[in-house]
């Protein structure tokens, strides 16, 4: 079995590994391996519940010292997405599909707007990790990572309404949100009436001649004051689509994408085909197993 992605095996000796031997979270940390063979041997012998790998590369990974650089990560957890059309309490097929849809949108922006090339997607078992390994980004510290997070999610209300660049990005995120709303979500800054009014008017959303949406499209329908509240609420909601703590943490460990000898059915695998990936085919999440038994 040789399913460790290349972006994982390259410079593997500079990463810190963590293991969960009992199914209670990673308790065995600061492990290192000189090459992928040594790691595989360990996994075969110990069959841990789950394996974790640092986003960081160190000259001394065993002591987590002499930091060199870290992957930039965006963590989309299906059960934490504030707007999803299923409104379920756990994780279902719908919210996993909508997490993947979000991941695709963010990856488009990372590649298209920021010119990033080494962008990988991993199915985490309950959502998706976008992992970026472009060198110039990996050397950046937390502050710029936070700025990138805000940009790709659309976490700031644009300063103008010309549907280009960031304004266009924001309006697209907003329209997506509006079409996924059920009216039952709890969105800070939007009361039930505002939520209902927005949903009532969503079928009137039209693209203009250049194929873009107009930012002011709801203003006439809901009034200027509520419109401003709506935009502020959407910016906040956008930021909460991704777990920001993960993006700014240079020393985090993430589940290792591999199906090698894990005791749990909940698999963590690299998504090679973004259009055709089906988590139910490649990796069976835990809740499905529970339902069967």
Which residues are at the interface with Zn ion (CB under 5 A)?
86, 88, 92, 94-95
Residue 213 near residue 233 (C-beta atoms within 8 A)? no
User: In this structure, are strands 119-123 and 253-255 parallel, antiparallel, or unpaired?
Assistant: unpaired
Q: Which is nearer to Zn ion, 158 or 285 (CB)?
A: 285
Structure tokens at 171: 């309006």
- The catalytically annotated residue of 28, 80, 232, 243 is 243
Structure tokens at 280: 């139910």
CB of 279 vs Zn ion, minimal distance in Å:
12
Other beta carbons within 10 angstroms of residue 184's beta carbon come to: 8
CB of 180 vs Zn ion, minimal distance in Å:
11
- The catalytically annotated residue of 77, 134, 156, 220 is 77
Q: Which is nearer to Zn ion, 4 or 91 (CB)?
A: 91
Backbone angles phi, psi at 24, to 5 degrees: -120, 15
CB of 39 vs Zn ion, minimal distance in Å:
34
Question: Which residues, including other chains, have CB under 8 Å from residue 239's CB and lie 6 or more apart?
Answer: 149, 150, 153, 155
Residue 75 bears catalytic tag: yes
Q: Which is nearer to Zn ion, 94 or 168 (CB)?
A: 94
Q: Which is nearer to Zn ion, 91 or 107 (CB)?
A: 91
CB of 184 vs Zn ion, minimal distance in Å:
12
Task: Please tell me the distance from the alpha carbon of residue 59 to that of residue 67, in angstroms, as a whole number.
Answer: 7
> What 3-state class would DSSP assign to 287?
helix
Instruction: Give residue for tokens 């010309």.
Output: 162
Residue 60 near residue 15 (C-beta atoms within 8 A)? no
Residue 77 bears catalytic tag: yes
Enzyme catalytic residues: 75, 77, 243
């Amino acid at each position: 079995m040789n399913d460790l992605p290349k972006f994982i095996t390259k410079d593997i000796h500079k990463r810190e590994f963590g293991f969960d031997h009992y199914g209670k979270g990673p308790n065995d940390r600061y492990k290192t391996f000189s090459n992928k063979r040594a790691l595989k041997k360990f996994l075969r012998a110990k069959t841990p519940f789950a394996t974790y790998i640092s986003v960081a590369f160190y000259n001394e990974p065993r002591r987590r010292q002499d930091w060199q650089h870290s992957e930039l990560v965006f963590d989309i957890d299906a059960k934490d997405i504030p707007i999803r059309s299923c409104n379920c309490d756990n994780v279902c097929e719908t919210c996993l599909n909508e997490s993947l849809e979000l991941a695709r949108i963010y990856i488009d922006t990372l590649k298209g707007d920021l010119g990033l090339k080494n962008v990988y997607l991993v199915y985490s078992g309950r959502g998706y990790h976008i992992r970026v390994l472009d060198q110039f980004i990996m050397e950046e510290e937390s502050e710029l990572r936070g700025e990138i997070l805000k940009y790709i999610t659309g976490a700031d209300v644009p300063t103008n309404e010309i549907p280009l660049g960031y304004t266009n990005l924001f309006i697209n995120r907003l329209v997506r949100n509006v079409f996924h709303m059920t009216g039952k979500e709890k969105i800070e800054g939007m009361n039930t009436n505002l939520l209902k009014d927005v949903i009532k008017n969503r079928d009137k959303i039209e693209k203009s001649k250049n194929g873009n949406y107009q930012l002011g499209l709801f203003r006439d329908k809901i009034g200027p004051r509520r419109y401003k509240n709506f935009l502020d609420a959407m910016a906040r909601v956008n930021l909460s689509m991704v777990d920001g703590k993960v993006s700014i943490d240079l020393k985090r460990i993430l589940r290792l994408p591999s199906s090698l000898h894990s005791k749990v059915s909940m698999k963590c695998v690299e998504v090679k085909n973004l259009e055709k990936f089906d988590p139910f085919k490649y990796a069976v999440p835990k809740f499905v197993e529970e339902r069967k038994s």
